[in-house]
A and B are shown apart, each in its own frame.
Chain A
């Protein structure tokens, strides 16, 4: 059975739910959001990724209605929301600081939005109970926010924003304070909710793995601009810049000079060495500076000289053992370090490579991405 791929952004017929049109936000002289245009579609799980202070929260606050753009327009469902106050927007936000009401119990915090809708007791009670169950907070329902732990508070904030089942949910680092296991469970719960209710999620996270797991598209931001928006595999395999490649996951960046060949490019990287070879969808002129971005897991490591075109000899200077994986830091001629990662399919004692070993690194000509800057 052919499953249709969810990719409304590739379909020009689709109308986006959210449109940022040339939005700039200034705080005094400081530019927090810099002429940003971006469409987000209904039922997307849109993840915002970026370093601290790049403007993620500001984007969310503009969507929720707490900040007005200095320039530009924000449209939700085709309507300019400049004049719509926060309480009239079908948007709920989970605050980075949680913003739980300290004078209300966990139960009342979660019920707060439902009560404001004028729902009856018979409707509110099962809904709150459901939210408590979802976030595993049943036992803490009668406590005040200052009587529970940080992770529990974060879950209350999440439950409170989910309770009203809005069309658009903004989650500002919703799972940061949870342990790995609970975080994973909650991620799946969120995806489940998303699938069942068709809610559109915009989520801020510092955890790339989380973004990769849950998101339909990931946006990488820097200094108030979106650098790249793409699906998780795309953004990992085909970053559009060194910044994105470096930000998402671990990467080796090799600087060199491109020379077009019939079957790709030769890249001169160290004087007097055999050039590296790579294929590229981007075109480079002869002698243009380029950067080769290469994921460590795509670099093979071995003691024997391989038969491939891209190979480098080096010496292991460090090994990072990550349980399921090991990352070898290999020093190659010119003093550069290249990281290679292998899966630990054998027990520790059976592995052969160790510090100071002379090894060969190799990769295929499609393993690396050629980038301009």
Chain B
């Protein structure tokens, strides 16, 4: 049997074209010399240069990166703790309810999450700005982290922790010295996931951002409403680059870890 029949080739091409053509066009036009977005006037990197002069964009980019780093870090700590408790605590009353509640924000429409956070911030009198965006992003990315980490913890051999306790560790030391190093790949890919989610987010950020701090997606969105400029194309290309690197790293980290883990588990099976 031929692996690539004509039909396969066509469907593959169409599928990928559908997915990537818009982005490719955007990347190409970001190197367009012309001010008019739709007219090609030769290759140039002038829009990247101009972007670096644009204070407003640079500010927004800086805010976005700080928000992404802070919120994904907090979300990773909280999400890992939540996952650990839910997987480890065994059966307690309302456990199913709790684990269900952790996952609920995943399916909640973003507008609702954004709106409810906005109401909360107004309610407690917190001025909207970078802090509120960080809080909001932490809230919704935390559940992604806990999903990733708890799926790793489920297959984690409990007796490793017991062995650590047996050898004199306090429960916290056992977590730090044994559990954490072993589940680290899942924690890292959780962090990267949270980071890219925060970088991408427009809806929740628009609800929780204030005049003092705007994120890049908001900036781009409002700029585009006044007409697409080649500068935005350049900016978007950079963002595509960052997100791509993030996603590829995350999948490589978890792939490598799972290959290694499989090897270790196979070795363990052979032993018994």
Contact = CB atoms under 8 A, between A and B. Distances in A.
Interface stretch (B15-23, B225-233, B262-270): B262-270
B166 A87 contact: yes
Contacts of A87: 165-171
B167 A146 contact: no
A149 B270 CA distance: 9
B168 to A, nearest CB: 4
B89 interface: no
Contacts of A154: 271
A145 B159 contact: no
A56 interface: no
Interface size class of B (residues with CB under 8 A): 20 to 34
A85 B169 contact: no
Interface size class of A (residues with CB under 8 A): 20 to 34
Contacts, number: 73
A93 B166 contact: yes
A120 to B, nearest CB: 16
B264 A146 contact: yes
B217 to A, nearest CB: 38
| Chain B binding surface, main DSSP class | helix
Contact of A66 (B162, B169, B171): B162
B256 to A, nearest CB: 14
Contacts of A97: 157, 159, 272
A316 B177 CA distance: 63
Interface string A140-167: 0000011101100110000010001000
Contacts of A95: 159, 162-163
Interface in B120-138: none
A101 interface: yes
B238 interface: no
A284 interface: no
Contacts of A112: 164, 167, 177
Interface of B: 157, 159-160, 162-171, 173, 177-178, 181-182, 263-264, 267-268, 270-272
Interface of A: 64-66, 85-87, 91-93, 95, 97-103, 112-113, 116-117, 145-147, 149-150, 153-154, 160, 164, 177
Q: Which 9 A-B pairs have the closest CB atoms?
A: A113-B167, A150-B271, A116-B168, A99-B163, A99-B159, A146-B267, A146-B264, A86-B165, A103-B181
